[in-house]
Chains A and B, each alone.
Chain A
Amino acid sequence: DAKTTQPPSMDCAEGRAANLPCNHSTISGNEYVYWYRQIHSQGPQYIIHGLKNNETNEMASLIITEDRKSSTLILPHATLRDTAVYYCIVPSGGSNYKLTFGKGTLLTVNP
């Protein structure tokens, strides 16, 4: 798996955008970037994934740099319920990939 680097923690004010960075400078050309989150001891929840282009869904947006060495997960209007550990994962293995979780970023949304 490509090594990913995330800040251990971040704070965000409720209603503001939360921008969570991830560095994955060793990513290979066909490896996807996945984002998951884990709300206190619950099962991890899939958020979004991308390969080259920016992606958006109902939960978040994913911005991947042109060189693909870093990405940013954007929660456009953070709520208190978005407080969670966010994991950026770049698995190898093609369609046989297995998710490997690091320590992620603890995002705390403050009122």
Chain B
Amino acid sequence: DADVTQTPRNRITKTGKRIMLECSQTKGHDRMYWYRQDPGLGLQLIYYSFDVKDINKGEISDGYSVSRQAQAKFSLSLESAIPNQTALYFCATSSGELGGGYTFGSGTRLTVV
């Protein structure tokens, strides 16, 4: 099983619909992250959580919300999807150790029509 699992892998939704992307990790790490990637660009941080009771906005949080249900689970919601939220979404986890790396999931490809 993958260390970081994202569901769904692909999703097409209509403008105005609410959608939730889910992420779970088996690394036992406290820290989790949601990133967005637009074609040809680097990843941008949407939200991050350093532990279950800690939620922080990243660079591009408008239009998104998150829920940290447990140490292992971190969900991203689009309350009312719009076409410019069409992108590749990645979840990641890290230990928080200085010098420690991030482990990323395989991504969710979201299309808003």
- Among A36, A49, A87, A95, chain B packs the most CB atoms within 10 A around the CB of A95
Are A99 and B107 interface neighbours, CB within 8 A? Answer: no
Chain B contact residue count (CB 8 A cutoff):
28
Q: Which of B58-98 contact A (CB under 8 A)?
A: 58-59, 88, 90, 92, 96-98
Q: Is A111 an interface residue when CB atoms closer than 8 A count as contact?
A: no
A82 to chain B, nearest CB (A): 18
Specify the chain B residue showing the minimal Cβ separation from A95. B98
Query: B104: which A residues are within 8 A, CB to CB?
Result: 43-45
A7-35 vs B, Cβ < 8 Å mask (1 yes, 0 no) = 00000000000000000000000001010
User: Is there contact, CB below 8 Å, between A43 and B105?
Assistant: yes
- A102 on the interface (CB 8 Å rule)? yes
Question: Do residues B98 and A94 form an inter-chain contact, with CB atoms below 8 A?
Answer: yes
Interface bin, chain A: 20 to 34
- Which residue of chain A lies nearest to B95 when distances are taken between CB atoms in the complex? A95
Residues A91-111 near B (CB distance < 8 A): 94-104
Alpha-carbon gap, A104 to B58, bound state (A): 20
A98 x B90 contact (CB < 8 A): no
Chain A residues with CB under 8 Å of chain B are 32, 34, 36, 41-46, 49, 51, 87, 94-104
